[in-house]
Every structure is written in structure tokens, then in C-alpha cells.
């Protein structure tokens, strides 16, 4: 998200805060090109800062607005309730083809993204839930090597979905989170400490950017993930990863809603 667009979001948010009650829809209609997942995310961030500053009414207004816009965008991405939903077999077929492309192309976006673009209707919460169930069903307790390959594939898919520029940003993040959580069923700290830490850090990033759910809760999840990663990413053993994760943790504490503002900044 470039700075120019962020500033445009902030200007729109200020207009919404300043406009007379009841004119919010007109303000949004006049800036429809800015009403997207990025706007929702910035709304949530501004609401968090307003909450910290004691401006609870303005914060509550923006949180409510962000939720309504996110729901509206989800409806648009899904084509509304009148669009037939994919069947379970269609979701599974889509997943198998997607994973095959990830594997054969070494997760090349030039190969994967056109396929995702043709199947945006399946990038939804149903797919996220189904993906976790499928992953659990195919794990083989007697084949550690195959399980590792599946976990690696989940991590690669999470990265591609997270960075996919089309569809619902909120849904894409939910799918990425589901992928990382699935991978962690194989990448335990005891068996695969480095992969576990990498996945925890990536999961933290996804939670930090998450649109669905309460912003405060998502930031707490992100902080927990970063702190977990740092149990393995020590300064001595992994200096680069340690520095990266420390920076991510610092940003999360800066955005933190819960706790005292001064204490969070100190962290």
C-alpha cells in the first residue's frame, strides 16, 4: 500500500468524521474508488489510535464503519447471495489443482495467480475452513517426509494467497492464516524449530494485517506469534531473523490497543 493511497484513505476518514450525521453514505459514494480492503484496514488502525487517545465515540464509529464496509465488500466479492456456491467437490478439485500448480511451478506467481484469478469465487471462508480439514485428513502419521512436504506447500500457498492482489483481501488473509495454522500441525517447535519459528513469524504478520475480527485481538495474536518465534530466533543463532522479528514485534506493540500506551511503546 503506497503512501499516496494511505493519505487518500486518511483524508476520506477525516471527511467521514467531520460530516454531519446521516451523510456518511454520500461521502463514501463520492469516493467509491477508495472503498476497498485497504480502506477497511486503515479505518481499523485509525480507530485503534483514537481509542488510545480517549476518543471512544470516534473510535467506535470507525470500527463499526470498517465492519460494515468489510461485509459489503465480501458480498461484492461473492457476487451476493444469489450466486450459487461451489460444492464441496468443486472446492476440493480447486485445491488439488492449486497445490499441483504450486508444486510444479515452485510457487511462481506468474503461474499461480492467473489460476487464482479465474477462481476468485472460491477464495472465501468456506475454502479456508475446508482447507484445514483436508490437510488434517491427508496427514500420514507413518510418513514424516510426506507430511513435511505438505507443510512446506501450505507455507508457500499462504505466501501466494497473502500477496494475491485480487479478490477479497479479508478472505485472502483468512486463507493464509488457515494455511500457516495447518503447517504448524507438522512444524512443531520440538521437531522442526526453525520452520516453526518462520511460520510463527509469518502467521504473526497475517494476524497483524487481519481485517476480520477485533483489531485488538488480532494484534494480541500477532504479538504472541512474534514472541514465540523469538524463542528460537535468538540474536546469537539467527541474527537476521531475530532482527526482523524484533522489528515486527515493535510495530505490533506500537499498534497495540490493549494495555497502557506508554508500556506498549516501551516494549
Residues 99 and 169 in one domain: yes
What does the pLDDT read at residue 261? 53
pLDDT class of 240 with cuts at 50, 70, 90:
very high
Q: What are the residues whose beta carbons fall under 8 Å from the beta carbon of 44, sequence distance 6 or more?
A: 62, 63, 66, 211, 215
Asked if 69 and 118 sit in the same domain, the reply is: no
Q: Are residues 97 and 132 in the same domain?
A: yes
Q: Residue 210 corresponds to which cell in the numbers above?
A: 487481519
Residues 101 and 178 in one domain: yes
Statement to judge: residues 91 and 19 lie in one domain: no
Asked which of 77, 98, 122 is the last residue of a domain, the reply is 77
For residues 91 and 175, membership in a common domain is answered with yes
Percentage with pLDDT > 70 across the chain? 91
| Domain total of the chain | 3
46-105 per-position pLDDT tens digit: 887 887 788 888 888 888 888 778 777 766 655 544 455 678 899 999 999 999 999 999
Question: Closest Cα to residue 186, out of 219, 152, 224?
Answer: 152
Residues 178 and 215 in one domain: no
> How far is residue 118's CA from residue 251's CA, in Å, rounded to a whole number?
35
H or E element that contains 183: helix 169-183
Domain that holds residue 232: 187-267
Are 63 and 217 a contacting pair, CB within 8 Å?
Answer: no
Q: Say yes or no to pLDDT of 168 above 80.
A: yes
pLDDT of residue 262: 53
Give the number of other CB atoms < 10 A from CB of residue 138. Answer: 10
Angle at CA of residue 117, ends 114 and 119, nearest 5°: 115
pTM above 0.85, yes or no: no
Taking the C-alpha atoms of residue 223 and residue 208, their distance in angstroms, rounded to an integer, is 8
Looking at the structure, do residues 164 and 212 belong to the same domain, yes or no? no
Contact predicate 168/124, CB 8 Å: yes
Using CB atoms within 10 A of its CB, is residue 82 exposed (0-12), middle (13-18) or buried (19+)?
A: exposed
pLDDT at 58: 86
Same domain, yes or no: 100 and 171: yes
245 and 198 belong to one structural domain: yes
pLDDT for the residue 82: 44
Q: What is the mean pLDDT of the chain?
A: 87
Distances (CA, A) of 18 to 21, 62, 69, 111, 227: 9, 12, 18, 46, 39
For residue 103, the tally of other CB atoms under 10 A from its CB is 14
Tens-place pLDDT, residues 141-160 = 999 999 999 999 999 999 99
The DSSP line for 69-119 is HHHHHHHHHTT-TTSPPPPHHHHHHHHHHHHHHHHHHTS-HHHHHHHHHHT
Last residue of a domain, one of 77, 101, 117: 77
pLDDT in tens, 188-229: 999 999 999 999 999 999 999 998 888 899 999 999 999 999
Q: Which position has the grid cell 499498534?
A: 255
- Domain end: 131, 165, 182, which one? 182
91 and 61, same structural domain?
no
> Which DSSP helix (H) or strand (E) runs through 147?
helix 144-163
Judgement on whether residues 173 and 92 belong to the same structural domain of the protein: yes
Amino acid at each position: 500500500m503506497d503512501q499516496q493511497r494511505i493519505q487518500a484513505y486518511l483524508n476520506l476518514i477525516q471527511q467521514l468524521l467531520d460530516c454531519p450525521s446521516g451523510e456518511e453514505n454520500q461521502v463514501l459514494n463520492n469516493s467509491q474508488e477508495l472503498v476497498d480492503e485497504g480502506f477497511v484496514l486503515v479505518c481499523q488502525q485509525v480507530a485503534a489510535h483514537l481509542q488510545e487517545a480517549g476518543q471512544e465515540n470516534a473510535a467506535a464509529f470507525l470500527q463499526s464503519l470498517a465492519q460494515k464496509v468489510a461485509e459489503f465488500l465480501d458480498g461484492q466479492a461473492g457476487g451476493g447471495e444469489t450466486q450459487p456456491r461451489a460444492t464441496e467437490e468443486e472446492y476440493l478439485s480447486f485445491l488439488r489443482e492449486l497445490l499441483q500448480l504450486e508444486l510444479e511451478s515452485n510457487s511462481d506467481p506468474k503461474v499461480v495467480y492467473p489460476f487464482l484469478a479465474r477462481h476468485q469465487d472460491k477464495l472465501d471462508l468456506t475454502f479456508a475452513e475446508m482447507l484445514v480439514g483436508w490437510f488434517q485428513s491427508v496427514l500420514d502419521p507413518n510418513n514424516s517426509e510426506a507430511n513435511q512436504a505438505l507443510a512446506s506447500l501450505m507455507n508457500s500457498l499462504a505466501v501466494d494467497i497473502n500477496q494475491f492482489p485480487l479478490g477479497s483481501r479479508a478472505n485472502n488473509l483468512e486463507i493464509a492464516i488457515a494455511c500457516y495454522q495447518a503447517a504448524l500441525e507438522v512444524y512443531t517447535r520440538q521437531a522442526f524449530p526453525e520452520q516453526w519459528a518462520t511460520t510463527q513469524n509469518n502467521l504473526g504478520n497475517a494476524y497483524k494485517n487481519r481485517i476480520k475480527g477485533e483489531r485488538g485481538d488480532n494484534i494480541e495474536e500477532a504479538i504472541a506469534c512474534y514472541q514465540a518465534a523469538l524463542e528460537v530466533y535468538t540474536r546469537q543463532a539467527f541474527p537476521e531473523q531475530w532482527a526482523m522479528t524484533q522489528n515486527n514485534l515493535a510495530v505490533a506493540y506500537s499498534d497495540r490497543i490493549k494495555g497502557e500506551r506508554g508500556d506498549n511503546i516501551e516494549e
